[in-house]
Amino acid sequence: MNYREAMDYIEQLKPLGSVMGLETMRGLCERLGNPQDKLKFVHIAGTNGKGSVLAYISTVLQSAGYKVGRYISPAVLDYRERFQVDGRMITQSGLCKYLEPVKEAADAMAGEGGAHPTLFEVETAVAFLYFVDRGCDLVVLETGLGGSLDATNVVSNTVAAVFSSISMDHMDILGESLEQIALAKAGIIKNKCYVISAKQPPEVMKVLRQAALLRKAKFFTADAGKVKNAKSSSVKQQFSYDKYKNLEIGMQGQFQIENAVVAVETIIMLGRCGYPVPEDKLREGLRQTKWPGRFQVIGKKPLFIADGAHNEDASKRLAESIRFYYADKKIIYIMGMLRDKEHDKVIRNTFELAQHIITVTPPIKERALSAYELAQEVREYHDSVTVADSVQEAVEIAYLLAGADKETVVIAFGSLSYLGELMNIVEHRDTIRRDSHGRSEQN
C-alpha cells in the first residue's frame, strides 16, 4: 500500500459515518492482538478544550523525557496529525505500514458477514499499533464522541481519566440534558484510576463524582477559580496555581488558563502513580505548548485569528476573549458551520462584536451548512453579511475590507474542517507580502 492508496481507502470509509458502540472495535483489536492492552493511557473527554488539554499534558510529559503518543481528532493542517509521537506526526510510509494490517482485519470482518469498522475505528486501531511499535511510555488519548461508547474506550489501562469543560453538544447522540451527556463521557473512568475534571456545572460534577465513586477512582477538581495573579499580553499569559507561582503559557484566549490548570492538576496526579515531572519541566512544557486553531494568531497585517468555536459554550468563550483582547478594534468574521451544530446559538453569542461577517461552506459535504444558508441565518441578527464562494474568496474579501487599517482584526471560526485551508492561504499570502517587502527594501 502506498500513501495515495492509503488516502483512497480512508476516503472510501468516510460514508460509513459514526457508529456508537464497542463490539466492532473490540473485534478489530482482537484480530490485531489487542495492542491497546500493551499501553498506558491518559484518556481525555469533554465538549470544549480537550485538544488543548491534551496538548499541554503531552508537551509537559515530553519535556520531562517520556515518550508520549498523541491521538487527536480532527486534524487541522494534515491528516497525519491524528497520530503523533513526541509531537511529531506519523510519516506517510508509517501510516501505510500500520494501516495495511488494520485494513486486512477490517475487510476480513466484513467478508465474514460482520459490520465493517468505521473510519474512526480503523484510525484508532492504527494509532494503537503505531504507539506500541514506538514504545510509548504513555498515550494521551482524545475521545472522538462522548466516552462510554466511543471507539477509544476499548482501552483498559487508564492511568488518568481527564475531563475538560462539558456542555451541550451532539445532543442527538449523547442525550438532551447535561446529566446525560456527562454520564456518556464519564464512561472513560476505569477502576481505581485517577480522575481529574475542570470545574463543571453542579449537575455534571455530581455525575462524574458518582461514576468515580462507583469505580473506586480517586477524584480531583482542577478549579480555575483558585488561579491567582492572572496576567495576559499579546504573546503570553501568566498565572499562579497551587504551589506553582507565575506559570506561563503561550496560547491566547482566556479559556486557555482553565485548560492549563486541568493539565497541571493531571501532571500532579501522574506524579503520584509513577510518572513524576520536575517543576522546571512542567514550566517548560506549558511555555512550549502550541495547538492549531485555538484562538491562534495566523497573520499580522491585519491581525488574523483562527478559532474552532463551533458550539454554544465555545462561542461564549470566544466572545469573552474578543471582548478582553480586542474591545476597541474593528472586527471582521469569517464563519463556516456544520448543519448539525448549534449555529443559531453561535451566531447569537458572537454577532454583536463584528462589523462585518463573511460566510463560507465547510468541506464536509454531507454535514456542511452552505454559506448561503448560514448568511440567511446571520442576517436575522446582522445587516452586513457577505457570502463567499470559497475559503480563498473569504480571505480575499476580509483583506479588502480590512485594507490598511491597523485597528482591524479578522477572526475565522466555526468548523475546524475549513480552518486548515484558511490557515494555509493566510500563511502563503503573508509569505508573499514579506518577500515583496524584503525585495523593495533591498531596492
Q: Is the pLDDT of residue 436 over 70?
A: no
Q: Render 42-81 in DSSP notation, one character per residue.
A: EEEE-SBSHHHHHHHHHHHHHHTT--EEEE-SS-SS-GGG
Contact between 316 and 347 under an 8 Å Cβ cutoff? The reply is: no
Q: What's the CA angle centered on 367, arms 7 and 314, to 5 degrees?
A: 105
Q: Is the pLDDT of residue 442 over 60?
A: no
Q: Are 380 and 314 found together in one domain?
A: yes
| CATH code, domain carrying 85 | 3.40.1190.10
Q: What is the pLDDT of residues 169-216, one digit of tens each?
A: 655 556 568 899 999 999 999 999 999 999 999 999 999 999 999 999
Contact between 61 and 277 under an 8 Å Cβ cutoff? The reply is: yes
With CA atoms as reference, report the closest residue to 213 among 195, 231, 188, 240.
195
Distance CA 356, CA 7 (A): 38
Strands (E), 203-336: 218-222, 228-232, 237-241, 244-249, 296-300, 303-307, 330-336
Mean pLDDT of 368-394: 96
Q: What is the pLDDT of residues 18-37, one digit of tens each?
A: 888 899 999 999 999 999 99
With CA atoms as reference, report the closest residue to 409 among 167, 203, 234, 260.
234
Q: Is the pLDDT of residue 439 over 70?
A: no
Q: Is 234 exposed, middle or buried (0-12, 13-18, 19+ CB in 10 A)?
A: exposed
The pLDDT value recorded for residue 254 is 77
Distance CA 118, CA 149 (A): 13
Distance CA 366, CA 237 (A): 39
Q: Are 147 and 283 found together in one domain?
A: yes
**What residues have CB less than 8 Å from 201, skipping those under 6 apart?**
166, 178
Q: Are 126 and 35 found together in one domain?
A: yes
Distance CA 142, CA 74 (A): 10
Distance CA 24, CA 102 (A): 13
Question: What mean pLDDT value characterizes the chain?
Answer: 92
Name the domain boundary from 268, 288, 308.
Answer: 288
The pLDDT value recorded for residue 72 is 94
Q: Are 260 and 301 found together in one domain?
A: no
Least confident of 18-27, 59-68, 127-136: 18-27
Three-class SS of residue 240? strand
Q: Are 67 and 215 found together in one domain?
A: yes
**Dihedral, CA atoms, 197, 199, 203, 204, nearest 10 degrees?**
-30
Show the domain range for 132: 3-288
Q: Is the pLDDT of residue 432 over 70?
A: no
Q: What is the pLDDT of residues 307-339, one digit of tens each?
A: 988 888 889 989 998 998 898 899 999 999 999
Q: Is the pLDDT of residue 99 over 90?
A: yes
Answer positive or negative: Cα dihedral of 16, 20, 24, 28. Answer: positive
What is the band of 5 on the pLDDT scale with cuts at 50, 70, 90?
Answer: very high
Question: How long is the chain?
Answer: 443
Q: Are 192 and 282 found together in one domain?
A: yes
Name the domain boundary from 262, 288, 314.
Answer: 288
| CATH code, domain carrying 409 | 3.90.190.20
Mean pLDDT of 244-248: 96
Q: Are 317 and 258 found together in one domain?
A: no
Q: Are 118 and 260 found together in one domain?
A: yes
**Number of neighbours of residue 407 by Cβ within 10 angstroms:** 12
**Number of neighbours of residue 78 by Cβ within 10 angstroms:** 11
Q: Is the pLDDT of residue 51 over 60?
A: yes
Contact between 313 and 48 under an 8 Å Cβ cutoff? The reply is: yes
C-alpha cell at 127: 494509532
First to last CA, the chain: 51
- The separation between CA 77 and the C-alpha centre of its own chain, rounded to angstroms, equals 12
Q: Is the pLDDT of residue 440 over 70?
A: no
Q: Are 121 and 148 found together in one domain?
A: yes
The pLDDT value recorded for residue 168 is 66
Q: Are 140 and 273 found together in one domain?
A: yes
The pLDDT value recorded for residue 291 is 85
Three-class SS of residue 246? strand
Q: Are 251 and 309 found together in one domain?
A: no
Name the domain boundary from 231, 264, 288.
Answer: 288
Q: Render 189-221 in DSSP notation, one character per residue.
A: --TT-EEEEE---HHHHHHHHHHHHHTTPEEEE
Q: Is the pLDDT of residue 118 over 80?
A: yes
Q: Are 284 and 302 found together in one domain?
A: no
The pLDDT value recorded for residue 292 is 84
Considering its fold, how many domains does the chain have in total? Answer: 2
Distance CA 358, CA 391 (A): 10
C-alpha cell at 272: 503520584
Distance CA 232, CA 324 (A): 10
The pLDDT value recorded for residue 173 is 59
Contact between 109 and 28 under an 8 Å Cβ cutoff? The reply is: yes
